[in-house]
Amino acid sequence: MKITSVDHITINCYKLQESIDFYENVLGLSLIKVVDLGDHVLHLYQLPGVKLELIEYKDEQKHIVTGKTDIGIYRHFAVRVNDIEEAYQRCLEAGCPINLKPTKIKQLDDMYIMLIVDPNGVEVEMIQEGT
């Protein structure tokens, strides 16, 4: 067996409309389609080379809050951007929680990173190549 690519990232949403607004209006993603699978609905978005699935469960689910340094859990996903300052301004204007403002990381070839939080508490890292 050989892994050929990553197909999708899934987020279980408890604030669906806020999540849709965040991923469409702040991150600029386009909805591919909505798929009703009976007990849950998939809202599919296209990232470069991978899909993002926002899942809406029809029955109420338990909401678990974890800390960013808890072990054994999913931490975040990262996207590359061409202008981290523009991304930062969009996040500020939208009122997105920001865990780390754009910061130059010398140990990683002077790349810039920023950490924001989506409406479900999922951390999203934004990366711009160093200059």
| Predicted local distance difference test score (pLDDT) of residue 125 | 93
Given a contact cutoff of 8 angstroms between Cβ atoms, the answer to whether 125 and 114 are in contact is yes
CB atoms under 10 Å from CB of 116, counted, come to: 24
Distance, CA of 113 to CA of 103 (rounded, Å): 5
Distance of CA 8 to the CA centre of its chain: 12
| Predicted local distance difference test score (pLDDT) of residue 72 | 66
pLDDT tens column, 52-105: 999 998 887 777 777 777 666 677 889 999 999 999 999 999 999 999 999 999
Check whether 111 has a pLDDT greater than 70: yes
Domain-by-domain residue ranges, the chain? 8-59+75-128
Q: In what order do the strands lie in the sheet with 31-36?
A: 8-12, 50-57, 40-47, 31-36
pLDDT tens column, 6-36: 889 999 998 899 999 999 999 999 999 999 9
Q: Is CATH 3.10.180.10 the classification given to domain 8-59+75-128?
A: yes
